[in-house]
Amino acid sequence: MKPGRLQAFSDGVFAILITILVLEFHVPAYRTGHLWTAVLHQWPILFAYIISFLYVGTLWLFHHDYFNTIAQIDRGLNFVNLVVLFPITLVDYPTNLIASALASGNQSDMKTAFIIYDVVALLISASFKLLYTYVNRHATLRVKQAKHTKLHQKTKDDPLRSVAIYAIALVVTPFSTWLGALLLLAGIIFHTVAYFRLSRSTKIVID
């Protein structure tokens, strides 16, 4: 099986998820002449949306570029890809929880929301580690170029690093809401940095 069909399916999943994220925006209840104030009160929704949009967008870029180094798909890789997509489709839920908790200002609720987001993010990173491990153990699936092999070796441990960040966030958040939130953001920023490293490598190979 060629990678194109798997990528098309995966792209559709990512597109639907991003669409669902933006559907959380609604016109707020407001009194005439006070629309701006009502919109400003929606900042938690906007904040949570921006963070999750950047996160999901980076995951899509990662997925897309990584599969450009894959020559063929077997049943095992099809299954692993579904495992990768499953936790990604859950992102909308903790996004809504964070928006709601930030709007309420309740520390306990914010801790719960951040912890749930950490768990989802940790599962996503762990699923990417599963993907990398599967492909590295089935080298015949990769495009046969030495630079691709080097690329796979360079990136194979990145998911473990992000798993460590989210695991630390899970431990810290019950004691410090905002430090836990910063660690969650650090994990998402790490993905972005790791993607740019991957994109530079794949550009050399693909171009």
Ranges 147-151, 167-171, 172-176, 182-186: which has the least confidence: 147-151
Contact 198, 66 (CB under 8 A): yes
pLDDT classification of 112: cutoffs 50, 70, 90: very high
Q: Tell me which residue has tokens 């407001």.
A: 30
The pTM is what? Answer: 0.88
**105 vs 118: CA distance, rounded Å:** 19
What residues does 142 pair with on adjacent strands?
Answer: 70
Contact 181, 151 (CB under 8 A): no
Q: In this predicted structure, what is the pLDDT of residue 206?
A: 45
In this predicted model, what pLDDT tens digit does every residue of 41-59 receive, in sequence order? 888 999 999 999 999 999 9
Q: Inform me whether the pLDDT recorded for 203 exceeds 60.
A: no
Q: Inform me whether the pLDDT recorded for 149 exceeds 80.
A: no
Instruction: Look up residue 112 and give its two tokens.
Output: 């719960």
User: Which range is most confident: 16-25, 37-46, 174-183, 197-206?
Assistant: 174-183
On average, the pLDDT of the chain sits at 87
First to last CA, the chain: 24
